[in-house]
Amino acid sequence: MQSKRNEHLLSILVVTAVFIGMIINFGVDSRQAVDARNTALQQYLPPAGSVDFRDPQQRALLKETLDIYFPENQGNNEALVLEIQRYLAGETAASISSKTPGSALDGSKLLEIFGMLLSFILVYVLVMGITYYGVQTLAIFRFTRMKQERESYLAELWTYLQALRNKEKKVAINPLKIFVYLGKACAKGLLYFILFSPAYVIAYSFKTRFDTDSFFFMVLLGVISNGLLITYAQKFFTFLVGESRKGYVETAVVKNLHNDYSTNEKSGIPLKNIFALRKAFPGHVFEHIYINAHQQYLAAIKEQASFLISGLVIIEMALNIQGHLCYELMQNILYRRFDVVLVIVLGIFLVVKATEIFTDSWIARDARRYANEEGAEA
Amino acid sequence: MMKLYREKDKLWLLIWLGGLLLLWGWNLLFLNKPAQAKVQSGLLNTFFISSLVIVFSAMLGWISGVGSYFLEKATSKIPYLTVTFFLNIIRSVPQIVGILVGYIIITVMIQDGSLSSTFYIMIIIAFVISLFVFIEISDLVRERITYFRRRDFYNAMLVCGIPEWQIVNREILWKNSVAHIFNKLIAVFGITVFLLCSIDFIVSVGLSTSVSAVNLPVTLGSLLAKIDSKQDILAIGYFITHPGYFPKLFFEHLQGITVAFLIVFTLLCIYKISNGFARRNEL
């Protein structure tokens, strides 16, 4: 564990040093670049009051005029109109507040970013906690269904219809049953679609219905969207299946541990144990399958954390949630304040690194506990 | 039919292709021609870039996986530690952040005129994405080598005088790990579609003023960010409180619904294909 920790600390040191160097460099460069660009832009500014840049029609008119005079470079004409618009918006914003996205990287700006980073971490920790629970619960639920030899709802409906066609004695025609199967299949399909939807698709679908900028909605989106939950639930399920095929499971069954996977039997796996926060299945062989699969899942948590952060960045950026870390990142990319951009990226990098260190310690602790490895390497 | 049901990867591949074909037919009937052309080019560009990412990731993953294995065995540990250090740094950068930085560089290159061909832009975008997804392939390659190194045949082949690079590349990876690598590449295709659409959506929504002047290729993500597509997506929310509006989604809001459906349906099908493939080959 010690060597892992040293490796993490070394990479934190190196990356932080490189970023600080770049931040200082970009701080000077971007201020000079912005000044130079603004000076160059002054000559293109139309006389005050001649064009209202808040009016899209007047902007379009100016662009078309430029296209008539300079038809060979229409892309640049559009860029020029946008640059002027951005410049004037910046001027207006600067006159209202000193804390515009383009403001300098000073103590107050750093403090502002730090506050946003803390809020980002809070969302991240919450979503991570919920998905940690959700991934295991979903995977265990699926695993028990597999052990019960249950098939998909459509397959069950097909089997039922086949039985009806073959006129099996025990099967009676029940139209309600057909609707229930179809309803369950549709609900499952819809759930799959939601779980695989990128956050922005879900968020824009409900933008006019809910307050999509709320803290709660961000956490909810982080959990259910971008395929995070379903992907890692599948991973955990694979670990469970892999473990259940190992020899020790047979030995445990021979030694009289329960091996029944029904959810309504005492010797089975009750639903309340599956949905419990702290999962335990005493006296059942699944207890050991779960513990071993959980150890493998711990290694995947680092990957899950990185993917989750990607998801949160997408949510904040795509929804333009003002006052959030990634909205600030986006604004500063737009205003070409690369020093602020680097500070935010460094913050996100440190969050990932902290997760990696925490996970490696957890893996090492578990290895000492279960594999009896003193000072085990993660 | 039952055989196809059991081979879930083939079944879902058929569902995916069938779904795309059905949607194309529907759009041919009910979507206006300019929007249809945009959706088609968006879809093709997305799949083209994602396919390129597969190629680049396979190459980078194979080279870095095998390379780091041989570097670890070398007498000097410095090259191995350096490579591992940089790979770990890439691992610690959230993919979307890394790709966003790559996009900024591409935008700067386009604006200063050093990059103008759409084809080359797509290749560079694919390469940038590959840089942040190839680690999974690299890890798999290392895992497979470590697994087979413990087997008897490895030492037996060494004793027979077969060069180690040949054992690793041909016997372990080519002959015994192609299914594993192929399965990972299917997953890489899915993650690329997700990342590409997300980054293009973000860039088009948030940075539209700085990139509209440059010609980034149209993808499903950038199409979804267009105002008319966003209006179409908003209509889904409207339908929840006005169920009678449901049929109109498929006629009046077809562009946005089509793009959103293509993204989600593709992600779902790729996930199912990958799982089915893993189960069929007992990976």
Least Cα distance to A16 among A288, A247, A348 occurs for A348
- What is the nearest CA distance from A273 to chain B, expressed in angstroms? 27
* Of residues A15, A208, A349, nearest to B237 (C-beta): A208
Contacts of B96 in chain A (CB under 8 A): 310, 313-314
Q: Would the CB atoms of A306 and B264 count as touching at under 8 Å? A: no
Interface of A with B in 185-244 (CB under 8 A): 192-193, 196-198, 200-201, 204-209, 226-227, 230-231, 234, 238
The pLDDT confidence band at residue B49, using thresholds 50, 70 and 90, is very high
The terminus-to-terminus CA distance of chain A in angstroms comes to 6
What is the Cα–Cα distance from B236 to B228, expressed in whole angstroms?
13
Determine contact, residues A16/A342, Cβ cutoff 8 Å.
no
Quote the CA–CA distance of A19 and A8 in Å, as a whole number. Answer: 16
Does B237 sit within 8 Å of A206, measured CB to CB?
Answer: yes
pLDDT band at residue B52 under the 50/70/90 scheme: very high
Q: How far is B207 from chain A (nearest CA, A)?
A: 6
The predicted pLDDT at position B229 comes to 82
pLDDT of res. A377: 45
- Which of A25-34, A358-367, B214-223 is predicted least confidently? A25-34
Separation in Å, CA of B256 to nearest CA in chain A: 10
Structure tokens at A196: 């695989």
* pLDDT, tens digit (0-9, with 9 covering 90-100), for B188-214: 999 999 999 999 988 887 665 545 445
Q: What is the pLDDT of residue A376?
A: 47
Closest Cβ–Cβ partner in B214, B240, B268 for A209: B240
CA atoms within 13 A on the CB side of B204: 22
Q: In sequence order, which residues have a C-beta less than 8 Å from that of residue A351 and are 6 or more positions away?
A: A117, A120, A121, A124, A309
Q: Tell me if chain B has a CB within 8 Å of the CB of A88.
A: no
Average pLDDT taken over every residue of chain A: 82
Q: Inspect the interface and report whether the beta carbons of B271 and A227 lie closer than 8 Å.
A: yes
Beta carbons of B92 and A352 less than 8 Å apart? yes
Residue of A4, A204, A321 to mutate for B, most B C-beta atoms under 10 A: A204
Mean pLDDT of chain B: 89
Lowest mean pLDDT among A58-62, A102-106, A192-196, B260-264: A102-106
Residue numbers of A between 281 and 310 with CB closer than 8 Å to B: 302, 306-307, 309-310
The residue ranges of every structural domain in chain A are 44-96, 107-150+196-336
CATH 1.10.287 is right for the domain spanning B46-217: no
Report in angstroms the alpha-carbon separations of A248 from A255, B253, B282. 10, 56, 20
Tell me which chain B residue has its CA closest to the CA of residue A344.
B97
Q: CB-based contact (8 Å) between A146 and chain B?
A: no
Arithmetic mean of pLDDT, A323-346: 85
User: Tokens at residue A214, please?
Assistant: 């709320």
Using a CB-CB cut-off of 8 Å, the residues of chain B touching A11 are 85, 88-89, 92
Q: Is the pLDDT of residue A27 over 80?
A: no
CA distance A315 to A311: 6
- What's the confidence (pLDDT) of residue A96? 53
**Position A33 pLDDT exceeds 80:** no
A358 touches chain B (CB under 8 A): no
pLDDT at A367: 82
Cβ pair A82:B97 closer than 8 A: no
Amino acid at B119: F
CB nearest to A309's CB, from B85, B94, B202: B94
pLDDT at B111: 76
Q: Flag whether pLDDT at A374 surpasses 70.
A: no
Query: How is B113-152 classified by DSSP, letter by letter?
Result: TS---HHHHHHHHHHHHHHHHHHHHHHHHHHHHHHHHTSH
State which residue of chain A sits closest to B2, comparing Cα positions.
A155
In this prediction, residues A116-137 reach a mean pLDDT of: 94
Q: Which residues pair with A284 in a beta bridge?
A: A258
Q: Best of A201, A341, A346, A359 to disrupt the B interface by mutation (most B CBs within 10 Å)?
A: A201
Distance from CA of B264 to the nearest CA of A (A): 5
Say whether A207 and B88 touch across the interface (CB within 8 A): no
DSSP-assigned states of every residue in A125-187: HHHHHHHHHHHHHHHHHHHHHHHTT---HHHHHHHHHHHHHTT-TT----HHHHHHHHHHHHH
For chain B, give the percent of residues with pLDDT over 90.
Answer: 59
A306 with B194: Cβ contact below 8 A? no
Taking CA–CA distances from A228, the nearest residue in chain B reads B191
Q: Which of A7, A201, A334 sits opposite B260 (nearest CB)?
A: A201
Mean pLDDT, residues B266-278: 93
Query: For residue B116, how many other CB atoms are within 10 A of its CB?
Result: 11
Which pLDDT belongs to residue A94?
59
pLDDT for B154-173, tens place per residue? 899 999 999 999 999 999 99
Distance CA B50, CA A128 (A): 28
Nearby residues of B207 by Cβ (< 8 Å), 6 or more positions away: A330, A333, A334, B107
Q: Rounded CA gap, B177 and B61, in Å?
A: 13
Give CA B13 to chain center in angstroms. Answer: 16
A236-269: per-residue pLDDT in tens? 999 999 899 888 888 888 888 888 888 888 788 8
Using CA coordinates, name the residue in chain A closest to B103: A333
Q: Do A205 and B236 touch (CB under 8 A)?
A: yes
Angle at B148 between CA B145 and CA B152, to 5 degrees: 145
Residue pLDDT, tens place only, A195-221: 999 988 888 887 666 565 678 888 998
Nearest to B97 among A78, A207, A313 (CB): A313
